[in-house]
Structure formats: structure tokens, C-alpha cells
Amino acid sequence: MTTLLRTLALTLHYAGLFAVDRVDLNVQPGSVHALIGPNGAGKTTLFNLISGLVAPTEGTVLFRGLDVTSLPADRRTALGLARTFQTSRIFGAMTVLENVLTGLQPRCFAGLIATVLRTPAFYREERALVARARDTLHMVGLSARADLPAATLPHGEQRLLEIARAIAPEPALLLLDEPAAGMNPAETAALANLVRRIRDLGTSVLLVEHDMGFVMDISDAVTVLNFGRCIFQGTPAAARQAPEVMEAYLGQKVAARLAARAPRMTV
Amino acid sequence: MLAQQLINGVLLGASYALFALGFTLMFGVLRVINLTYGFYFSAGAFAALFLTRDAGLGIWAALPLAAVTAGLIAVALDWLLLAPLRRKRAPELASLMVTLGGVLALYSAATAILGPDIRRLPPGLVDGTVFELAGLRVATPQLFILVASFVLVGALVWLLNFTRLGLAIRAMAENPDAAGLMGIDTGRTAALVSFVAGCLAGAGGVLIGLNFNAIHPYMGESMMLRGFVVVIVGGLGDIRGALIAGLALGVVEVLTAGYVDSGLKEAVAFAILVAVLWTRPSGLFGRPALRRA
Amino acid sequence: MPEWLDDFLWTYQNLVHALGINGLLALSMYVVLAVGQLSLGQAAFMGLGAYSSVLLTLKLDLPFLAVLPLSCVAPVLFALAIGVPTLRLSGVYLAIATIGLGEVLRAVYLNVDWLGGALGLSGIPGRAESWMIFGLLGVAILALWAVGRSAIGRAMAAIREDETAAQVMGINLARYRLGALLASAVLAGLAGALGAHSSSFIGPNEYGFEPAVTILSFALLGGIGTPLGPVVGAWILTLLPEVLRGFSDLRLVFNGVIIVLAVLFLPEGLLALRMRRHAA
């Protein structure tokens, strides 16, 4: 089996800093792959490079064996790449169902003329899309909310909606940016189950997450970033033992403790 | 002949640069296309008209007073129309729309009150002497505009680069949130930027009203096209670019009128705008300002 | 047609035509606002449609039903010339370029002899019939309604709410934005041709800054939740000066104030309707 997502020496030079520095990442099909590292390590930036929202300074992104480095984000989505955002970016003015339908754009083929003339083919496609969207909402447990305005959902459900919107077209790879942030333990456990089900249905998952229990629980592979560099790649169990990983995290904890003790700087 | 055309072009271009200066400053700092800007220009010209004709002031007293009047109008409009949207973090097009509605209401109210006719400043305000040097002719009001443009650009550059206020303005242009966190009162800075831009527009209105000797409520609106060309060609928010682009536009217009057809001046100016948008959308001197992801 | 309706249409023909034409213009603003862009080019597109249709009628004596589709050509070409470069950039560029387009075309109409100069073009035969105007308006409303309740409408709504998220949904932003601008140019071009052929005269000042902003006030008064909102907005603002005598002097002040109030206090417009965005 070929590697699903591969980055080769991916680099982003930004304002004199290497936000991402020669990262080689390999995500295997059928896996849940975690991307961890201290704050500011470049995880979200790497997501933006992979999904095509930011162009790299150097390096290559290969997705399903294709060089997608110069493709815009919407073309990568059409190839089967999906993502969520760190702070959820649902379409608040739409209903929950309409959000998921919007996620199904890669599955929409009716042209302008068929749409205006309301051909039978148009209705057939539209019915299939709505059915698929309802199935997806059922899978994440939001069926009862389908017709509510999305902005009225509580935080945890908005995060689930964003995942539903991303997985509706059955992408090959789903990027989740801190999916468990702001969730209580019960919600996090449910999320872990959902991620496993997504993987079992054939979508690989690459996720950024700070909740280490969650990461160790569901990941098949772990990549650790620090200062934009990849410092470790392996299994979760190996990551736990690796001294360089300890150091990256410990360094940050010590620094955080020192900062907490120091008087607040005033400007 | 060509030399005289070039001189005329530079003199005309100086008025375009003067007009565009405050406009590009507002965009650079406040990140809004403020279309009420043209109204400050008309307001400055009318204030000078009333001060010289009805209050009997000389031009040297009327010019700063008219500029300050326009500046105060700019602050009031900013507070009324744009400050609420800044607080709500409304998208940039909302600010553009609100100033568009505001300026239509202001122009048409001014026309309803003052009438649409063209007014003239009292004669003899400035010496009408025409200088002649090596066969080239320059009238005093034109020279006045040229000098004023350079003085005002110099003053603006000094204000931005060598004063505390300038530091606050540049910090806000860079990143309003960070500027706010560093203790800069962004509301007050926005008001000051509006005031400075309004003063520049008002002074421009007086000087250009003086040069063309034609003052009417919509005079700011008819300058807007030139203003747009200058700020896009010079780069949105680029003060130095606006000065160069303004002078260049003046020269191009005079040459078009002289050698092609005076009816095509505006068309040529607009063609330049479109050409720049196709090839160098960030302006001839600027960094790329492509849409952020 | 019953006799009373015939009488009524005859007496108020200008007003009735204005209602239909302003409705089309309001829709031409709606399609652009619906993808989160602001174009002030609708009056300019209308002017291009009007001038080109009048030249086709007067110089070539083409039948009106051939003139009508041809009147969209010039607006579409100008929309492409301005839209392709600006729609890659932040929204302010399109707004600036389209305001500029209106100003420059006014100067061109004024200065070019064969376009009639300040006197404009006159002696235009009154070939626009009410059924054509309202037929097109009806078709446009239905088509935009159908588009709104489909994947295309969902993509447009998504772009308006969050461009980045929309892009990640696989939506090609530039394609939708340009499509909307071209649709807008077509609608405004048709409105221009119909307007020119229902009055005997067109002049350079009818397509400048003031009409451009007035068209925006139609859409913002009605709200852009559905295509009906802008049409209702246009009708209110067309009828108001007729109903309130003495109001017509302040008509433009009122239109401007409406935009200000709508943006600051009533972002959904008067008809804060929402349309369902799917058809099944």
C-alpha cells in the first residue's frame, strides 16, 4: 500500500522564522496519526500547508501519490482531503443540515442549467445529498438538531458538526485540528469512538491534539514537532519513552512554571 | 511645447497627489475605503468660500481654518459611521457600504441646501501673476499647490516617522489588536488619523478650488476617480507611492489631452488603473496584497 | 386585457416600467452581494446596455428582440475586464474599480460625439413592452430562487459567510464570484436596454454615481436573504417619491441614509426572510 499523505522537506519561511522546517511526514492509509508538540511548534501551520491554504517556501506535498503542492485548497478537497479548524468555522447562519450539505460540495455535479430547470436528475442528486447528510448527522449524533440554525448549537455540538461537514463526502484523509479542545471527559470519550469509526469506514485521520490521554488512546502513529522541526516519528508507546519528546515537553513545562512565578510584565 | 506640457502635467498631478494622500493614509491605518473622503474635500472648499467671501478673511487665515473644519467633519463622520463597525469587527465591505451611503446623503443634502451651481472664490485672493522662466509659464496658484503638496507630504512623513503619535499610528496600521494590547488607545488614534486625513482633504479642496476657481458640492466626487487611480497605482496605503503616482497621472492626462484627445483623459486614467490591476495589483511600488487565506 | 387595466397601464406606464426595471437592477446587485462582494458597476453596466442597444436600434435598425440579448455583450466584456483581476484580490478592489468604471464611462459619453455628448441620444422608439420587462423580472426571480435552493446557492452562502471555510469545502471562490458578476452584468445590461427603449432619451448622467448607490439601497433596504427582498426594496424606493410629494428633492438623501441605517442596525434588511437552501 502506498503512503496516503507524504510531505518532503516541507518548509515555510515566515518573517525570518522557519515556522515549518524541512518536515517529512508520512501518513499511512487506514491509520489515525497524531501530530503533537508544544505550543507554537508549527502544527496548525503544517495543516495549512497540507490543506493548501498557505503556500510553502520549499518542499513538496504528495497526496494519494499526486504532487498537490501547487493545487489550491478547493482542488485538494476534491481529491479527498478534508479538514476542521482549531476554532470551529461552521456556517452559523445556515441550518445544521445545510452545513453538512455544503460539505458535500465535492459530490455535487448538477450544472447551472439543470439547477434552474429543476430537471429530474437535479432532484435525484439533491435527494441523495440530503439522505447522505442525514446519515452523517446520525453518525455524529446530531440528527435531532438537523433543522436548527447552526449558530445556536452548544460548543461541543458545533465541533461535532464541523467534523460531520468534513467527513460527509467520505474523504480519504481528514485533518482534525484540536478536536477535543473545550470538551468535557464524556464528550472526549465519545469523540475518541467517533474518530475510530471514521477510520474504520475508510477515512484516515491526521490530528493535532493536546489531550495526551486522547492521543495515546486512539493513535496508530505519532509525529512530534518542536520549533517547526519533526523530532520524532513512531508509535505512541515509543513516543512516551523517547527522551527528545520528554525534553521538548519538559522544557516547555519548566518554562511555563517559571513564567507563572515571575511578576507579570507590564508594557 | 513638450516642456510646458510636462510642467503643466506635474502641476496638475500635484493636486491629484494632494487629494489622494489622506485617502491612502486612511486606508493604510484604518483599513477602510472611506468614500466620505471626497466630501471633506468639498467641505474644505466651501468653508474657504464662506470664510473669504462672507467673513472677509485672507487666504492664509482661511486655509488652515478650512482644513481644520474638514478635519472635524472627518472625525465626526468616523465616529458616527465607522467606529461602531470597528467595535463589531464588521467586514471591510460593510465599512465601504456605510461610507457610500453616507457620502450620497451628504452630497445630495449639500446640493439641496447650497444649490448645484458652481461658485467662485472672491477675486484677488491670490496674486494671479504668471511666472515665466526660459519660456515656461507657471501661474501662482499652481505653484502654490506644488509647494503645498511637497510640504504636506513632508509633514506627514515626519509625523509618521518621528513622533509618538506616528509610532502609535504605524503600530495600529501593522496590527490593531496588538497595538491595543500595548496600551495604545486605538479609538483616539483612529480619530486622529481621520482628523489628519480630513485636514489634508480640506486643504486640497481649498487649493484646487483656488486653482480651477470652481467650487460645487460634488467637486470631491469628481476627484474620486483620480483618487482611485492614484491609490491603486501607487499601492493602497502607500504614501510615497501616492505622491509619485499622482504626479505621473497628471503628466499622462496632460499629454493625452495635448496629443490625443482631451475627451479621453479619464478613459486613459482608468485604462491605467485596469492595467495595473491585471499586472501589479499591489501597486507599482508595493508588496503583493493578495487575499489572505 | 380588461379595459381598466389597459387605462391604468397607459396612465402610469412610466412608473410601471420603472418598477420592473428597478427590480431587475436590484437583482443585479443581489447576485453580487450574495457571494459577499460589492460592485458599484450596476449603473455602469446598465449604461453600457442602454447605449449599445440604442445604437443598434438607431443605426442598424435591428428588431428589439435581437437588440435585447446583444445589449448584454458590452456589459459582460467590461465585467470580465474588471472582474478577472480584482476578484483574486480583497473585495475593496472590485468596489473601487466599479465606481471608477461608472465615472469614466460618464466622461466618455460626455466627450465622444457619436455617443451624443452632453445631449445624449434621443428619438429612441418606445419598443420595451410591460410584458417583456415583467416577464424578464419574473424569470430572473424564479431562476435566482432555484439557484438559491441548490448546491450552487449553498456554495454562494458559504462564500458570503466564511471564504476560507468555503474554499476548504471544495468551492472555487473565483469561479463563483466571476459568475455572479457576469450574471449581474447581464441583468443590468437588459435593464439598461429596456429602460432606454421605454423613454425616448438617454444621457450620460443617468448611469453615474447616484444611480449606482441607489441600486445598492434597493438591495440593502429589502435585504438579501431571498431574491424577493431586493425587488421589494426597489419597489418601495421607486414608489415613495410618487406617493410623497415634495419628497423627491430629498430622495437621494433618503437612499443614502437607508444604506447607513441598514448596515449599522438592520443587516438583514426589512424582509429578513431566509430561504431553505436545499430542494429535497
| Residue in chain A nearest B184 by alpha carbon | A267
Residues 6+ apart with CB under 8 A from C206: C47, C50
| Residue in chain A nearest C175 by alpha carbon | A74
CB contact under 8 A, C164 and A89: yes
- The mean per-residue pLDDT over the stretch B220-230 comes to 85
pLDDT in the model for residue B127: 67
Query: Is C40 inside any structural domain?
Result: yes
Listed range (A163-167, B201-205, C35-39, C244-248) with the worst mean pLDDT: C244-248
Query: In Å, how far is C176's CA from the nearest CA of chain A?
Result: 11
| Residue in chain C nearest B96 by alpha carbon | C92
pLDDT in the model for residue A267: 33
Q: Does A78 touch chain C (CB under 8 A)?
A: yes
Confidence band of A266 (pLDDT split at 50, 70, 90): very low
| Residue in chain B nearest A54 by alpha carbon | B293
**pLDDT of A240 strictly over 70:** yes
CB contact under 8 A, B274 and C37: no
Confidence band of B292 (pLDDT split at 50, 70, 90): very low
pLDDT in the model for residue B56: 81
Query: In Å, how far is A203's CA from the nearest CA of chain C?
Result: 16
Domain boundaries, chain B: 19-216
Q: Does A83 touch chain C (CB under 8 A)?
A: yes
pLDDT in the model for residue B180: 75
Residues of B with CB below 8 A from A12's CB? none
CB contact under 8 A, C97 and B263: no
Residues of C with CB below 8 A from A89's CB? 162, 164-165
pTM equals 0.89
Q: Does A102 touch chain C (CB under 8 A)?
A: yes
Which of C40, C92, C256 faces B105 most closely, judged by CB atoms?
C256
Range of the domain at C10: 3-206
Query: In Å, how far is A116's CA from the nearest CA of chain C?
Result: 5
C:151-210 residues touching chain B, CB 8 A cutoff = 163-164, 167, 209-210
Which site among B26, B31, B89, B93 would you substitute to test the C interface, given the most C Cβ atoms closer than 10 Å to its Cβ? B93
Domain total for chain C?
1
**Averaged pLDDT of chain A:** 87
Q: What is the pLDDT of residues C231-252, one digit of tens each?
A: 999 999 888 887 776 666 788 8
- Level-2 CATH architecture, domain A5-261: 3-Layer(aba) Sandwich (3.40)
Which of C88, C104, C263 faces B267 most closely, judged by CB atoms?
C104
Confidence band of A263 (pLDDT split at 50, 70, 90): very low
**pLDDT of B209 strictly over 70:** yes
pLDDT in the model for residue A182: 84
pLDDT in the model for residue C89: 83
Domain boundaries, chain A: 5-261
CB contact under 8 A, A267 and B293: no
Listed range (A241-250, B189-198, C215-224) with the worst mean pLDDT: A241-250
Q: Residues B118, B216: contact at Cβ < 8 Å? A: yes
Q: Does C258 touch chain B (CB under 8 A)?
A: yes
Q: What is the pLDDT of residues A187-230, one digit of tens each?
A: 899 999 999 999 999 999 999 998 888 888 899 999 998 888 88
pLDDT in the model for residue B190: 87
- The mean per-residue pLDDT over the stretch B86-97 comes to 85
pLDDT in the model for residue A264: 41
pLDDT in the model for residue C118: 83
Query: In Å, how far is A264's CA from the nearest CA of chain C?
Result: 36
pLDDT in the model for residue B288: 41
C100 DSSP β-pair partners: none
**pLDDT of C136 strictly over 80:** yes
Q: Does C220 touch chain B (CB under 8 A)?
A: yes
CB contact under 8 A, A73 and B293: yes
pLDDT in the model for residue A222: 92
CB contact under 8 A, C168 and A82: yes
pLDDT in the model for residue A1: 53
Which residue did the predictor score with more confidence, B287 or A71? A71
CB contact under 8 A, A129 and C280: yes
Chains with 3+ CB–CB pairs under 8 A to B are: A, C
Which residue did the predictor score with more confidence, B26 or C178? C178
pLDDT in the model for residue C189: 96
Which of C151, C157, C172 faces A91 most closely, judged by CB atoms?
C157
Query: Is C271 inside any structural domain?
Result: no
Confidence band of B285 (pLDDT split at 50, 70, 90): confident
pLDDT in the model for residue B171: 82
pLDDT in the model for residue A260: 55
| CA proximity to C279, closest of A128, B19, B201 | A128
A:226-255 residues touching chain B, CB 8 A cutoff = none
| Residue in chain C nearest A130 by alpha carbon | C280
Q: Does A188 touch chain B (CB under 8 A)?
A: no
Letter string b/e over residues B178-208, b meaning 16 or more CB atoms within 10 A of that residue's CB: ebeeeebebeebbbbbbbbbbbbbbbbbbbb
Which of C93, C112, C263 faces B101 most closely, judged by CB atoms?
C263
Q: What is the pLDDT of residues B102-140, one digit of tens each?
A: 999 999 999 888 888 888 888 777 766 777 777 777 777
Which of A48, A54, A267 faces B182 most closely, judged by CB atoms?
A267
Residues of A with CB below 8 A from B182's CB? 267
CB contact under 8 A, C253 and B293: no
3-state secondary structure chain C: CCHHHHHHHHHCHHHHHHHHHHHHHHHHHHHHHCCCCCCCCHHHHHHHHHHHHHHHHHHHCCCHHHHHHHCCHHHHHHHHHHHHHHCCCCHHHHHHHHHHHHHHHHHHHHHCHHHCHHHCEECCCCCCCHHHHHHHHHHHHHHHHHHHCCHHHHHHHHHHHCHHHHHHCCCCHHHHHHHHHHHHHHHHHHHHHHHHCCCCEECHHHHCHHHHHHHHHHHHHHCCCCCHHHHHHHHHHHHHHHHCCCCHHHHHHHHHHHHHHHHHHCCCCCCCCCCCCCCC
CB contact under 8 A, B181 and A73: no
- Express as a percent the part of chain C with pLDDT over 90: 50
Rounded Cα distance between A189 and A200, Å, is: 17
Query: Is C216 inside any structural domain?
Result: no
pLDDT in the model for residue C215: 93
- The mean per-residue pLDDT over the stretch B29-47 comes to 90
Q: What is the pLDDT of residues C74-95, one digit of tens each?
A: 999 999 999 999 888 888 889 9
- The mean per-residue pLDDT over the stretch B194-203 comes to 91
Query: Is C19 inside any structural domain?
Result: yes
**Averaged pLDDT of chain B:** 84
pLDDT in the model for residue C119: 85
**Averaged pLDDT of chain C:** 88
CB contact under 8 A, C253 and B98: no
CB contact under 8 A, A53 and B181: no
Interface size A-B, in CB pairs within 8 Å, comes to 7
